[in-house]
Every structure is written in structure tokens, then in C-alpha cells.
Chain A
């Protein structure tokens, strides 16, 4: 049987220092991963204030639990799992409250191939403004179930492979693919007019 060697965790030295009580090392980890984790939580909640509060909770929990982190996975996978679980728990509690507050859109979107194609003047149906697109995308995402939204966020938006998602969610790769398929099918209905002809 062939055992694949796992890539060494680049955060390992910082984690080791943080475990010994070096708070600056933990700060470095916070700075390094805030942006990516923000994307995950924001795309699952569609609310900036909730994202901010949750992110604070996530890092506080990670700090308290750091001593028990054994390094079986990378630090990023570990804290990402904490984030997904905490966000899903939060969404279960929030359930009835539809609270959307949209973040600014990075101006780089204007250079994106897909965005240019979509907003092409040649097709008046697909002529959209960024704010309209943003609103529609968020509305469409909020129509998905929490589990489906989590998979779409991790796979489509954050570009995480199926295998990694299955590890984080504790489900099989097949379940991840299946959720992704049904989520996409649902999204098709909401975003029909944005799709390519």
C-alpha cells in the first residue's frame, strides 16, 4: 500500500510558537487567514456584521482550543472546519432572520472574463450593473439550504477541491458532488437571465 506524504504545514512553526504562549505568533495566523475565512463566512451568511462577530468567535475558539490541535491536518483545514461548523450552527439559530448587508465589490471584477462576457452590450438581456448582479447573486445564495450554500461557497467561490470539502464537512465526496449538483440546479432557476445563451 502506497502512503502519500502529506505536504508539510507551512503554518506549523507559527502554531508551535502560539502553543507555547507566543501571542504574536497567533496574531500572524489571524492576519494570514482572516481574508479567506471572511469570504467563507460572508458568503454563507450574506451579512457583514454577522460575519464580523462570527469571525471574532472563530478565532477566539481557535485560540482556546489550540493546545489540543495535534497537527493531523493543516492548521488552515482545522480552523476552516471550525469556521464551517460554527457558521452552520449560527445559521440554524438565525433561520428566520433574513439579514443581508452587502460588502463592496472589488474593482478587479471589471477585468474578469466572465463578467465582461455577461455584461456585454451585444446582449441587452444580460446587461447588468455590478450592484444588481451582486444583489441577485446574494439572493440566489440565500435561497439555498445551509448545507448546499456551504458546498457552493467552498467549491465555486473558494475553489476548494471536493476531497477537502468532504473532509471538512465529514461527508463522502459523493455527497459533496451531489449537493453541488442540486445547488447548481436550483441556482439556475434564480439566475436564468444571467446565463450564457
Chain B
């Protein structure tokens, strides 16, 4: 018959092969510590604080909306969505990097003149004498056409639609 050796008073918290054991004596000391720490439950905010918290929360929600930080909210939502999706940190990081890249590209995209409206296009101004300096001033002795020759039936008027309308003189 083998004499049984006294077993040490230890309890194992995790798998015995991987975990350190905790002596039972220490456990009783731990209970004391637990009891002392539990007294922190009595440390509480005032009633007024709890009553005012909801008002503060509403005010903050409103100011956030007014500040319109839609980009930061979008980024946060995307990050949370990626986390919920089950992706690891790498996936979240890669996604965030892509988003940052796209955002930077969108912000610093070079502006092309083709995108400008016709009104904003630079207009090359040419004065008559610049276009044809020899025709800018009438040459002495040259006969100019009489206006009625140019418009024999009266005055020409251009309508809003661009069509030519003639007003006859009676």
C-alpha cells in the first residue's frame, strides 16, 4: 500500500498545464480585498447630475447635427460596419486606407477647363482695329453703303428665339 502524500492546498483557475495555481490562503485574503473594493459602489454622482445628463445629451446631439460633421460620422459608420462584418484589423486598416486614398484623390483632383461652363470660359477679345487694322477707319474718299441698301425693307430686329423678324414701315 502506498502512503498518500499530503496534497497542497491549491486550486487551479485555468488548465493546470498552462496556469499558475493560487494558494487557498491567498484566496481568503482576496476576499478581503474584494470586500474593500466593493465599497466603491457607494461612490456615485449626484442626483442632479443624473437628471441633467439627458438634457446635456440632447444639447450635444443637436450641436453635432449643426456642426454637420457628416464625413466623420460616415467614417465612423464604415469602421463600425467593417468591424461588425467580421473582418480583422487588417481588413479594417486596408479599407480605411482605400477610403483615405479615394478621399484625397477626390479632394485634390486637378480641375480641367472642359468642366467649366461656357460663361466662365476665357473670351479672347479682339478690337476691330486689332482684327483688321486697315478696315478700322474709313479710307478718305471711300463711298460707304447707304443703310437702306443694307436693309431695303426696313429695320431688322432679332427676336428672343434668334429668328429674324422684319418690321415694315408703312
Contact = CB atoms under 8 A, between A and B. Distances in A.
A43 B44 CA distance: 10
A68 B84 contact: yes
Given A48-B45, A64-B77, A68-B81, A181 B22 contact: yes
B39 interface: yes
A139 to B, nearest CB: 12
Nearest to A111: B42
A181 B30 contact: yes
Contacts of B42: 105-106, 108-109, 112
Among B33, B40, B44, B53, which residue has the most Cβ atoms of chain A within 10 A? B40
Contacts of B13: 174, 177-178, 181
Contacts of A196: 32
Interface stretch (A2-10, A91-99, A184-192): A184-192
A60 B61 contact: yes
Interface SS of chain B? helix
A188 B39 contact: no
B100 interface: no
A27 B36 contact: no
Interface of A: 27, 30-31, 34-35, 38-39, 42-43, 48, 52, 55-56, 59-61, 63-65, 68, 102-106, 108-109, 112, 114-115, 118, 133-134, 137, 141, 152, 156-158, 172, 174-175, 177-178, 181, 184-185, 187-188, 191, 194-196
Interface of B: 13-15, 19, 22, 26, 29-30, 32-46, 49-50, 53-54, 56-57, 60-61, 64, 73, 76-77, 80-81, 84
